[in-house]
Chains A and B, each alone.
Chain A
Amino acid sequence: AQSVTQLGSHVSVSEGALVLLRCNYSSSVPPYLFWYVQYPNQGLQLLLKYTSAATLVKGINGFEAEFKKSETSFHLTKPSAHMSDAAEYFCAVSAVTGANNLFFGTGTRLTVIP
């Protein structure tokens, strides 16, 4: 079975500081992993996805994530936080059979302090 764990339900960073949001996965097969962002009162928008082509994945808005099989991790980073990055971030792993639905983590709310 597939699952993800997001460490830290709330993360605060200063504007211009490094953003690091943590995600660890559990999967019995090579996983497909996703990061989504949710702005207040909106749906989820894809930031980036890992589909085994490259371990370092670049996404939109300057975010990137590195797949580390040895650590079963897929942490999301951004070198310099902007105020507009304040949102909730979800890590997800895709089911490999049946619905191929996404199994989501519980989310990390990012606050950016001016």
Chain B
Amino acid sequence: NAGVTQTPKFQVLKTGQSMTLQCAQDMNHNSMYWYRQDPGMGLRLIYYSASEGTTDKGEVPNGYNVSRLNKREFSLRLESAAPSQTSVYFCASTERTSSYNEQFFGPGTRLTVL
């Protein structure tokens, strides 16, 4: 099993450009998450999908959109990138939304917006 995979690994954008970060999991998990990691701030939740067909905002959703394409895939879109969105983005999944379930993380996408 590959676990949680993310593409691309690295990306450089200019301000105003758009892009989609891809995430896929092969563990048959129901719930998926997008976090961003910034220096000195830990990880913060952008959006999540409790199950296929549902998505909801997290702590820092502004400037992002998501799509739960199917049970395996959960993409994050930046419509008009801004320098403040320079960050490392992690996708995670868990069997189902529950307080005690472990979340499994992908390797991350390092995004720089110039």
Contact = CB atoms under 8 A, between A and B. Distances in A.
B33 interface: yes
Main secondary structure of the interface of A (DSSP, over half): loop
B91 to A, nearest CB: 9
Interface string A75-114: 0000000000000001000111011111011110000000
A101 B45 contact: yes
Contacts of A46: 102-104
Interface string B35-68: 0000011111100101000001010000000000
A1 to B, nearest CB: 11
Contacts of B33: 99, 101
Given A95-B99, A99-B97, A101-B45, A44 B90 contact: yes
A46 to B, nearest CB: 5
Contacts, number: 61
Q: Bin chain B's interface residue count.
A: 20 to 34
B90 A9 contact: no
A76 B56 CA distance: 33
A45 B105 contact: yes
Interface in B58-96: 58, 90, 92, 94
21 contacts: A41-B107, A42-B108, A43-B106, A43-B108, A44-B43, A44-B92, A44-B105, A46-B102, A46-B103, A95-B99, A96-B99, A98-B56, A99-B33, A99-B97, A101-B48, A101-B58, A102-B45, A104-B42, A104-B43, A104-B44, A106-B41
Interface of A: 9, 32, 34, 36, 41-46, 49, 51, 90, 94-96, 98-102, 104-107
